[in-house]
Chain A
Amino acid sequence: MINTISILLALSSLFLFGSSRIRISIRVVIAQGFLLGIAFLLHNEEHLNSSTWTIAISSMLLKGIVLPWLLTFVLHRSRAKLEIEPYVGFGTSLFIGVLLLGFSTYVAWNLSLTSTVRAIPPALFSTALFLIFCGMFLIVTRKKAITQTIGYLVLENGVFATGLGIGHEFPFIVEMGVMLDIFVGVFLMGIMIFRIDKAFDHTDTHRFNTLLDEIAPEHNDSEDMESAQ
């Protein structure tokens, strides 16, 4: 069952490499949130208690409902176009995605075969690595702030899955703290996407180029005055 979920997770991330619609990408993130929650419950099948239930349900609520809803809200309210604008084309992205999947499977198999400490389920572990690579790739190659936020969520899903694969549980308070951090982080990012949209009339971070060192920035008095306290 865990293997099925792992494969679904990997396929859904591969889909992100080729998808050109922001709304569909958000739906993929929703699916991942629920899949991870189920995986967490399956993993703790033998000792289900109130704290594992709380963690699983709040994780599903957060990653499957609240954060995607927040992103959808931001998407509708900002004037961003609904297409993803990549630096690397979708075909190339997909190809790189397949390579990354192969690479993470290779690494995960090696690590889990040679692990003397504890048995690691290779399928889940390789998927987790793949999600992390996928998140980083999306952050680096997508132009819009909102797609970078989606990349960050996928990365966080990957880290969560790694925790599952390695079979380590934090104390309840730490687990909730991690979730709170992610929630506040994405919430702040959402607010900032609004502001970026208002201030720049676009949400493309590649046009963020006022703070460069190579070119002496054009002297802008009003900006400086504003920062003068």
Chain B
Amino acid sequence: MMLWLLICIPFAAGALSYFITANRVRRTLWFLAAATHLFLSFMLAFQSDVDTVKDSWLAMDALSRIFLPLTSLLFTAATLYAIGSFENSHGGKSDTAANESVPRLQPESVFTGCMLVFLASMTTVILSHRLGLQWVAIEATTLASTPLIYYHQGTRSLEAAWKYILLCSVGIAVALLGIFSLALAAGGVTSELTVESLVTHATRLDPRWLKLVFIFILVGYGSKMGLAPLHTWLPDAHSEAPSAVSALLSGALLNCAFVGILRVLQILNAAGMGDFGQHILIFFGLFSMGIAAIFILRQPDYKRLLAYSSVEHMGIIILGTGLAQGGMFGSLLHAVNHSFVKAMLFMTAGNILAVYATKRIDGVRALKQTAPVVAVLWFGGFLAITGSPPFGTFLSEFSILQEAVRQERFVTAGLYLFFLLLVFIGMAATFSRMTFGAPQSEQPAKKLHPWSLVPPAFLGIAALMMGVFIPEQLDALLHSAAELITRGAL
């Protein structure tokens, strides 16, 4: 019952906020809904009693305990940041007089409504144990986020939103085929398409159809997760969306697609067919990393750079998933770390955009003098995203490497290191030029609203903490989730 509340509260608040015209009231409602969601999800995630929350439609297991509070935390941070950045744009209204001609019909109420519905659908994806319902929810995340990407209503965001909705919908249609095939594989064994019942009867499922299921689901949800070569919509959508939305798309939504893949992987592993999946996952992982590295090396736009970095990190996560249990732990840990760091970086990128009014890397110089706080966040974020030692990403990337070497997959390990190095070189050049480069003739000066700085700073500290010490409860959760997926059941 409590789990349904987690979905209903943001949904109802979203529907309501669509009709509220007063900014102050709507923003308060938005924040209250986010805070309630955050409180509830932490409370339920740390409730040790599993059976009380078990329900045939929604259930809480180790995997949801990790991703639900994470999603909720990111959403609350993005809420505060978005409110702060709305204030930023109000301060600079005179600068954007050139765009007054663009028609806007109460965009902020549509924006708030879509954000909250987006949260409700992501929650459903994470909690749902019925694969059919999960499919509906994943498609709903696409639909709720399309208007968010199109928020600026320019031609570029229109192009990005069109590619996003069309490519993701086609990809997700393929995933539906996968679910039908799963029903066929389970024909006569179990009529309920819940993860639990499928795992229980996994060995009696038809293995040939199960292989087909895995491929369909990986292609379908993989296109939503941004795995190369199905990633082509991702750099456009993530770079054209408002920064608060980019932070959620990269930090929270990609994880949701990952959860969708993990549920099916769990069934595959329970059926004892893990080997079949591993090769495919490792290939997709390395390929995504390679493609992303190439595009990161010569990227003129810093938000696109971050978007390609998301493709790279999804590659790392999927690669880790392919390395069985040890790698699974690393990849789950990496998913958590990546969410913190990438959300922080996109928010900081939004601040840079607010100061310099350009997304071109060439247009941003001497961040250190212009906006010192932003510069610290930006350069700290660079260290974190490339997996430098004090940050959590180092731990998770290292544990995946360790697992690859332990399994004597030396080619995989070598390629993995090579791509990480390429990305490091590409990003180091860009980030240091932007932070330290010689000042331009005229430096823009703009005061940023504190709320657009506090959330990224908080997320940055969280990313740092993850490297210094991982809370005991989280560590236990990550281990039990890794075991859940690789063994099929606890």
Contacts and interface: CB of A to CB of B under 8 A. Distances in A.
A117 B158 contact: no
Contact of B102 (A116, A224, A226): A226
Given A188-B147, A223-B154, A213 B295 contact: yes
B206 to A, nearest CB: 5
A225 B97 CA distance: 10
Contacts of B239: 211
Given A188-B143, A210-B155, A213-B299, A159 B173 contact: yes
B253 to A, nearest CB: 16
Interface string A112-156: 001111101000000000001000100100000100100010011
Contacts of B142: 185
B177 A228 contact: no
Interface string B133-160: 1011001101100110010111111111
Interface string B104-132: 00000000000000000000000000101
A192 B95 contact: no
B48 interface: no
The dominant DSSP class at the B interface is helix
Contacts of A177: 132-133, 136
A135 B243 CA distance: 34
B159 A178 contact: no
Interface stretch (A1-9, A19-27, A161-169): A161-169
A115 B188 CA distance: 13
Interface centre among B92, B95, B165, B185 (most CB of A within 10 A): B165
Interface stretch (A39-47, A59-67, A84-92, A194-202): A194-202
Contacts of B132: 170-171, 174, 177-178
A225 B357 contact: yes
A219 interface: yes
Contacts of A181: 136, 139-140, 143
Given A148-B166, A159-B173, A228 B354 contact: yes
Contacts of A162: 177, 180
A192 B158 contact: yes
A33 B85 CA distance: 46
A188 B162 CA distance: 9
B114 to A, nearest CB: 11
B289 to A, nearest CB: 17
A50 interface: no
The dominant DSSP class at the A interface is helix
Interface string A207-229: 01011010011010111111111
Nearest to A152: B169
B433 interface: no
A210 B95 CA distance: 24
Nearest to B242: A229
B300 A216 contact: yes
Given A139-B166, A188-B146, A208-B163, A224 B357 contact: yes
Contacts of A210: 155-156, 159
A228 B353 contact: yes
Interface of B: 85-86, 88-89, 92, 95-96, 98-99, 102, 130, 132-133, 135-136, 139-140, 142-143, 146-147, 150, 152-163, 165-166, 169-170, 173, 176-177, 180-181, 183-185, 187-188, 193, 206, 208-209, 235-236, 239-240, 242-243, 295, 299-301, 304, 350, 353-354, 357-360
9 contacts: A117-B184, A118-B184, A166-B181, A171-B130, A224-B360, A225-B99, A228-B95, A228-B354, A229-B89
Interface of A: 114-118, 120, 132, 136, 139, 145, 148, 152, 155-156, 159, 162-163, 166-168, 170-171, 173-174, 177-178, 180-181, 184-185, 188-189, 192, 195-196, 199-200, 205, 208, 210-211, 213, 216-217, 219, 221-229
Given A189-B165, A211-B156, 8 more contacts: A159-B173, A159-B180, A170-B132, A181-B143, A223-B155, A226-B102, A228-B353, A228-B354
